[in-house]
Amino acid sequence: MSHPFETLTPDLVLDAVESIGFLSDARVLALNSYENRVYQVGIEGAEPLIAKFYRPDRWSDAAILEEHSFTAELAECEVPVVAPLVHNGETLFEHSGFRFTLFPRRGGRAPEPGNLDQLYRLGQLLGRLHGVGATRPFEHREALAVDNFGHASLNTLLEGNFIPKSLLPAFESVARDLLKRVEAIYASTPHQVIRLHGDCHPGNMMCRDEVFHIVDLDDCRTGPAVQDLWMMLAGERHERLGQLAELMDGYNEFHDFDPRELALIEPLRALRLLHYSAWLARRWDDPAFPRSFPWFGQERYWGDQILALREQMAALDEEPLKLF
C-alpha cells in the first residue's frame, strides 16, 4: 500500500497553492522536512511562499489551529516568530485530502554552539515566548510527559520488531530502569507546565540581520519551561554552566525561571532519546524514512542506543546544573 505523501506531487502542490487564489510561477523546491512535507513555491510578481503540508492523521484540525493561534498570539505580543499567513480569514486549508498552511519565506542562520552573546539573546527570546505561553493552557495540544514520550515510545519499539532479538533483552532492561529513574525525578522535582515551543533545538531559532526569530511550532505542547532551554547548551559541564548563566540572564529579563527545574534536564534528554527512536519506528511506512535513515534497525544502531541509554542513566545520577 502506498503512503499518502507519495501522491503529493509538485503539480498537486502548485494546484493547492493556486486553489486559494495565489498565482504560482511553477517553481517548486522541496525543503528539508520529514514529519510533514514543506515546499518553497514561487509566486508571480511576489516573494516565494512556504507551503507546509501536514502529515495525515497526526494532528486534529483543532490542534493545528491551536498551534496557529499560539503563533499569532506570540506575533501580536511582538515576539519574533514566523506565523502562518492569514488568507480570507483562514490559516488552514485543504486540497485533495491534504491540509496545508502557507508561511512567508524567512531565511537565516542557526545559532553558533556555545556563543555566549547569542545565548543571552536567545534567552531573552525564550523568556518572551514563555511569558506569553504561561498566560493560559492549551486545550487541544498534548503534554510532554513520561507516559507518552517514555513508556509509549518504549512500547512502540518493543511491539514493532525493530530491535534485533540478540539485543532486545539488554535494550528493554536499560530502558525500563531508565524510565523508573526518570519517573522518580519528575515526581520529586517541583515544576510548572506552560505552553512551549516543544522542539526548541538550535535549528528552530534562526538569525537574520542580527535578529533571532522562532520557526516551526509544529510540536508546540505543554511542559516544563526547561524543555525549551536545555537543547541550547552544548559541550562539557563547565562549558554548559557558563552557557546556562548567559541564557538565564537573558531569560529572566522577561520571565521568571524556577531553578529547581534544572534537575529535569537529564530526564528530558532521556525521554528525547527514546522518543526519537520511536518516531523513526512510527514513520517507517513512509518511504522517505528508509531512504533517509537506512541505519535504523541495524544491529549497530541498537548497540549504540543501549550504550547511550546506559550513559544517560549515569547522567541522571550526576548533580544537576546550577545557577550561580
Quick check: is 38 in a domain? Answer: yes
pLDDT at 35 (0 to 100): 95
What's 285's DSSP letter? Answer: T
Selection from 64, 45, 47 nearest residue 56 by Cα:
64
Active-site annotation holder among 15, 61, 216, 304: 216
Q: Are residues 160 and 216 in the same domain?
A: yes
Q: Are residues 168 and 311 in the same domain?
A: yes
Q: Are residues 24 and 126 in the same domain?
A: no
Say if residues 267 and 185 touch (Cβ distance below 8 Å): yes
Q: What is the CATH number of the domain that holds 75?
A: 3.30.200.70
DSSP 218-277: TT-EEEEGGGGTGGG--SSHHHHHHHHHHHHHHHTTTS---GGGGGGHHHHHHHHHHHHH
The answer to the question of whether 286 is labelled as a binding residue is no
The answer to the question of whether 219 is labelled as a binding residue is no
Positive or negative torsion for Cα 199, 202, 207, 211: positive
Which of 78, 102, 126 is the C-terminal boundary of a domain?
Answer: 102
Q: Are residues 61 and 131 in the same domain?
A: no
Q: Are residues 93 and 126 in the same domain?
A: no
pLDDT at 152 (0 to 100): 98
304 is annotated as an active-site residue:
no
Quick check: is 305 in a domain? Answer: yes
**Domains: count for the chain:** 2
Which of 70, 102, 134 is the C-terminal boundary of a domain?
Answer: 102
> Which position has the grid cell 514520550?
149
pLDDT at 196 (0 to 100): 97
Q: Are residues 64 and 163 in the same domain?
A: no
Active-site annotation holder among 15, 61, 117, 199: 199
β-bridge partners, 100: 53, 93
Q: Are residues 97 and 138 in the same domain?
A: no
Positive or negative torsion for Cα 231, 232, 235, 238: negative
Q: What is the CATH number of the domain that holds 311?
A: 1.10.510.10
Q: Are residues 120 and 57 in the same domain?
A: no
Q: Are residues 53 and 87 in the same domain?
A: yes
Residue 137 has which C-alpha cell?
A: 493552557
Q: Are residues 71 and 195 in the same domain?
A: no
Sheet containing 46-53: which strands, arranged edge to edge?
24-30, 37-43, 46-53, 98-104, 93-95
Quick check: is 10 in a domain? Answer: yes
Which of 102, 135, 168 is the C-terminal boundary of a domain?
Answer: 102
177 is annotated as an active-site residue:
no
pLDDT at 1 (0 to 100): 55
Quick check: is 322 in a domain? Answer: no
Quick check: is 320 in a domain? Answer: no
Q: Are residues 257 and 304 in the same domain?
A: yes
Quick check: is 91 in a domain? Answer: yes
Selection from 186, 147, 155 nearest residue 172 by Cα:
155
Tell me the backbone φ, ψ of residue 37, rounded to 5 degrees.
-120, 130
Quick check: is 163 in a domain? Answer: yes
Q: Are residues 98 and 138 in the same domain?
A: no
CA distance linking residue 154 with residue 150, whole number of Å = 6
Q: pLDDT below 70 — which residues of the chain?
A: 1
Domain of 225 in residue numbering reads as: 114-315
Selection from 290, 252, 222 nearest residue 131 by Cα:
252
Quick check: is 245 in a domain? Answer: yes
Can you list the positions of beta strands (E) in the chain? 24-30, 37-43, 46-53, 93-95, 98-104, 193-196, 205-208, 211-214, 221-224
